[in-house]
Amino acid sequence: MKMEHIERPELLIIGGGPAGLSAAIVASNHGVRTLLVDEGVKLGGQLVKQTHKFFGDEEFYASKRGFEIADILVDEVKRSPNVLTLTQTSVIGIYEDAVGVYDRTKEKVFSILPGYILVAAGASERFLSFPGNDLPGIYGAGAVQTLVNQYGVLPGKRFLIVGSGNIGLILAYQLYQAGADVVAIVEITDRIGGYEVHAAKVKRLGIPVLTNHTLVRAIGQERVRGAVIAKVDEHYSPIPSTERELVVDVICLAVGLVPSVELVMQAGAELIYVNELGGYVPRRDFRMRTTVDNLFVAGDLAGIEEATTAMIEGKIAALTIVEELRNLDLSEEIERLQKKLSIFRSGPTSEKVRRGLEKMGIHYEGVSFQNVKQTPGLEHKLKPVIECFQPIPCNPCETSCPTGAIVVGDNINNPPKIDYEKCTGCGICAISCPGLAIFMIQEDYTGNRSLIGVPYEFLPLPQKGDVVLALDRDGNIVSNAVVEKVIKSKNLTNLVYISIDRDLAHSVRQIVMPESKPASYVCRCEDVTVEDVMRAIDAGFTDYEELRRYLRIGMGPCGGRTCSSLALNLLTRKTGRSPYELRPQISRPPIFPVPFASLKGGEEDEG
């Protein structure tokens, strides 16, 4: 069975990302002998390093994190009896009479003769030419995500991100989660390229997004030590008088992807240059068939888009192949998926993709949308405030609401509307929202204070009673706040409720823990800190001897030589008493440590 899979599979799928995995599941469910080949160590493609929650709908795993989606798809593929998977294996060429495959684990090249081929090889990162672009410390955004999210390696401390598309914005947020300092995101155009909700997340953290700016050069000899950025004119050329230096040790390029069309080109399929889809892409029809009859494509190889559209394309391609192999009529399911794909691409964020597909004769209608203005009122009631104003394909807020208070409607791009009479204030929508764009608010909480529920995805997680810093939409500190309660969630988006001055209720949209400082030690022998001494004084221990006995100051090997003067100074400062009023430490013998053996009486035995 396995040899038949390898030598003569009915379907060869090249690429184990969302498109390839989805296609393999569909083909296997219809009994098609399928070989899936992927060059990665594990299946999942780009999903395995995506720690953020995905947009979309429930059918395509909306509100689940990328690595969770990978686990679901891979598990289903592994349970499929008709799919054989080969990882760490690369297709090295598609020839007229065979497909060449290289198994890196066995260092062996072999050939296969598939009936159909689906190429879902994804895309590679686009690079930039600038002085110093060969220095260590310059990475593609995807490479940094691999290091940080898959392997737990932070390649630097201070980052500059070039490009404000979704990848750049998501990476900035993930780096902040990992404890890095993102100095800035620079964007050469006059607008942010990614979703507004992604941009809002990073702005709330105080990360500046500088539009009309570009990277001029990297600074450094043996590795990146800094970067020079500048404003650009209407021709996107740097304006010299605006140059400034940033101290960074990593420059991340998030400037787009290039479809990996090499194998499709080898197979003889026609390529067409479509800038809106990422560059050269294979000409294909509605059903993902290229100009070579038995060759199909799906995912970023067919045009740079989202993981959801990649999964749909993979399914459509597989169903078409199944139809021909098994002589079935699956047009109803294909049309259902085509309609879903059409809805996903109907919003304003997909306008660029629609223009690109038009160039190869594939037409999708765009739909106009109006911003929805929420009028919450009901100051006494805990309720969600939805700050998702851009039409994007996403509806977990609607599908998660237990009372049906939130409505998106038939088109998944519709901004959500909320009926506050139906809302119970449970907060499930805020936890489910992939864009972290829903906040819980009760204006009339107590006295002149309001209660704010903030979605929180950082460590450490605040606890009830903690004092935190409240930030506005631009990351500015506006006040201290007290944590009233914390709602933990299995999907790792927790809700932290804080009480805040009522006038700030509609300004505060993020919190951070006060920066923790290294402990300042008074007595290193007994690990007594300045904070320990201050708390003891507040508790009534205002005499040095009392402090010494309570905290064991001066009872270590140094005999108080280091700590006694420090403790006396703290007593003086805290109590306002003069050093003349305080008694120093009573030194008891021995004044330095001596072995017990040396203290025993009598003479040493001789012999």
Same domain, 212 and 305: no
Please indicate, yes or no, if residue 377 is contained in any of the structural domains: no
pLDDT in tens, 386-443: 999 999 999 999 999 999 999 999 999 999 999 999 999 999 999 999 999 999 999 9
For residue 602, is it within any domain?
no
Instruction: Give the pLDDT score at 531.
Output: 81
Strands 213-219 and 226-231: antiparallel
Q: Which of 512, 544, 559 is where one domain is finished? A: 512
- Check: CB of residue 106 under 8 Å from CB of residue 100: no
The arithmetic mean of pLDDT across residues 512-529, rounded, is 78
Kindly state whether residues 106 and 169 are assigned to the same domain: no
Q: At 146, is the pLDDT very low, low, confident or very high (cuts 50, 70, 90)? A: very high
The residue type at 530? V
Could you tell me the pLDDT band of residue 572, with boundaries at 50, 70 and 90? confident
* pLDDT of the residue at 603: 54
Q: How many domains does the chain have?
A: 4
In-domain check, residue 505: yes
Q: What percent of the chain has pLDDT over 70?
A: 94
Residue 115 tokens read as: 């009936």
Kindly state whether residues 481 and 461 are assigned to the same domain.
yes
Which of 206, 237, 255 terminates a domain? The answer is 255
DSSP readout, 412-473? TTSPPEE-TTT-----HHHHH-TT--EEEEEEEEETTEEEEEEEE--SSPP-TT-EEEEE-T
Q: What is the pLDDT of residue 368?
A: 83
- The pLDDT confidence band at residue 545, using thresholds 50, 70 and 90, is confident
Q: Does the pLDDT value for residue 78 go beyond 70?
A: yes
- Tell me what the mean pLDDT of segment 378-393 comes to: 91
Judge whether 316 lies within some domain. yes
Phi first, then psi, for residue 512 (nearest 5°) are -135, 150
Q: Give me the CATH number covering residue 343.
A: 3.50.50.60
Which is it for strands 99-103 and 89-94: parallel, antiparallel or unpaired? antiparallel
Q: What is the mean pLDDT of residues 235-250?
A: 96
Region 464-491: what's the mean pLDDT?
94
What DSSP string runs through 49-103?
Answer: G--SBP-B-GGGTTTSBHHHHHHHHHHHHHH-TTEEEE-SEEEEEE-SS-EEEEE
Same domain, 60 and 165: no
Decide if pLDDT at 513 tops 70: yes
Pair (507, 530) in one structural domain:
no
Mean pLDDT, rounded, for 112-121:
97
Q: Are 308 and 29 in contact (CB under 8 A)?
A: no
Same domain membership, residue 265 and residue 236: no
Q: What tokens appear for 151 in the block?
A: 């392997």
Q: Are residues 391 and 506 in the same domain?
A: yes
In this prediction, residue 1 carries a pLDDT of: 36
Position 75 in a domain: yes
What's residue 359's pLDDT? Answer: 95
Q: What whole-number distance in Å separates Cα of residue 167 and Cα of residue 163?
A: 8
- pLDDT at residue 313 above 60? yes
Q: Is the dihedral of CA 368, 370, 371, 377 positive or negative?
A: negative
Q: Which of 255, 272, 290 is the last residue before a domain boundary?
A: 255
Q: Which domain holds residue 60?
A: 2-123+258-358
Question: According to the model, what pLDDT value does residue 535 have?
Answer: 85
Calculate mean pLDDT across residues 42-46.
97
SS (H, E, C) 264-327: HHHCCCCEEEEHHHCEEEECECCCCEECCCCEEECHHHHCCCCHHHHHHHHHHHHHHHHHHHHC
pLDDT interval class at 75 (50, 70, 90): very high
Q: At 360, phi and psi to the nearest 5? A: -115, 20
Q: Is 273 in the same domain as 416?
A: no
The CATH number that applies at residue 564 is 1.10.10.1100
In a domain, 577, yes or no: yes
Residues 410 and 334 in one domain: no
Residue 563 lies in a domain: yes
Same domain, 116 and 182: no
Torsion of CA 486, 489, 492, 494, to 10 degrees: -30
Worst-scoring range by mean pLDDT, 89-103, 181-195, 408-422, 509-523? 509-523
Separation between Cα atoms, residue 50 and residue 494, nearest integer Å? 18
Q: Pairing mode, if any, of strands 250-253 and 158-162?
A: parallel
- 391 and 446 both lie in a single domain: yes
Band (264; pLDDT cuts 50, 70, 90): very high
Q: What amino acid occupies position 515?
A: E
Residue 333 maps to a domain: yes
What pLDDT sits at residue 588? 65
Verify that 470 and 457 share a domain, yes or no: yes
Question: Is the alpha carbon torsion for 362, 367, 371, 374 positive or negative?
Answer: negative
Selection from 441, 464, 466 nearest residue 452 by Cα:
441
- pLDDT at position 607 is 47
- Tell me whether the omega of the peptide bond preceding residue 455 falls within 30 degrees of 0, making it cis: no
Amino acid found at 219: I
